Amino acid sequence: MADDLNSMYQVRGQVKWFDPVKGFGFVVSDDGGPDILLHVNVLRNFGQSSIADGAGIEIVTHRTERGVQAVQILSVTPPGRDSSPILTDFAELDEDLLRSAPLEPARVKWFDKGKGFGFANVFGRPEDVFLHIEVLRQSGLSDLQPGEAIAMRVIDGKRGRMATEVVAWELALRTDEA
């Protein structure tokens, strides 16, 4: 396959796994073939620091002597879920209300993946907003870092302000421009 070296291909697939601590993970192409290396720098160029296992992904790949690597992310689709609400806190709420809340700019205060939650602050507002790991996963993310800029949809829930969706800040900017 020497003639295929340095060739670029657009690929659709799923994230097999991604470890933000190690700084890499792998994608499995929908068309089969070898696992595709996904480096954290490629993910950061897309505006995210993590990605959920099982997320759909569209990437541009590059074949090298060491294997196939992602060089650009074109899109990410959160992993599928059943029709039940993400959290019981959202069970009695109208799904249109959850989806129609505006994306608000925020900064992560802290997030503990092991505990399954953390908090962020919407810019210009002092109160904490609760971030649950399931909301992150359904948003296509797996972890957040303190100080990370994000955009989130926020509601006043039973336990105070809660995020219903979280996206990378850069992705929110691209969504607003469309």
3-state secondary structure of 99: helix
132 lies in the same domain as 151 = yes
What is the token pair recorded at 98? 């959850």
Most confident of 7-11, 13-17, 78-82, 156-160: 13-17
Q: Provide the 10 A C-beta neighbour count for residue 164.
A: 24
94 lies in the same domain as 49 = no
Look at 6-15, 50-59, 87-96, 157-166 and tell me which has the smallest mean pLDDT.
Answer: 87-96
9 lies in the same domain as 67 = yes
Cα–Cα distance measured from residue 35 to residue 73, given in angstroms and rounded to the nearest whole number: 16
**pLDDT for position 2:** 42
Within-domain flag for 136:
yes
Within-domain flag for 82:
no
63 lies in the same domain as 138 = no
Which domain-ending residue is among 77, 105, 132?
Answer: 77
Q: What is the span of the domain harbouring residue 30?
A: 2-77
66 lies in the same domain as 96 = no
pLDDT, greater one: 2 or 115: 115
CATH number at residue 18: 2.40.50.140
92 lies in the same domain as 173 = yes
Q: Are 163 and 135 in contact (CB under 8 A)?
A: yes
94 lies in the same domain as 155 = yes
Report long-range pairs for 77-85 (Cβ below 8 Å, ≥24 apart).
77/140, 78/52, 78/137, 78/138, 78/139, 78/140, 79/52, 79/53, 79/54, 79/55, 79/137, 79/138, 79/140, 80/54, 81/138
Which domain-ending residue is among 57, 77, 97?
Answer: 77
Within-domain flag for 93:
yes
- Quote the number of domains for the chain: 2
Within-domain flag for 139:
yes
Question: Given pLDDT bands bounded at 50, 70 and 90, which one contains residue 1?
Answer: very low
54 lies in the same domain as 93 = no
The pTM of the full predicted model, rounded to 2 decimals, is 0.65
92 lies in the same domain as 170 = yes
Residue-wise pLDDT tens digits, 36-46? 999 999 998 98
Within-domain flag for 83:
no
Which domain-ending residue is among 77, 112, 136?
Answer: 77
Mean pLDDT of 122-150: 89
Residue-wise pLDDT tens digits, 48-89? 888 988 889 999 999 888 889 999 999 988 876 544 445 566
Within-domain flag for 69:
yes
Residue-wise pLDDT tens digits, 87-121? 566 656 666 666 778 889 999 999 998 898 999 99
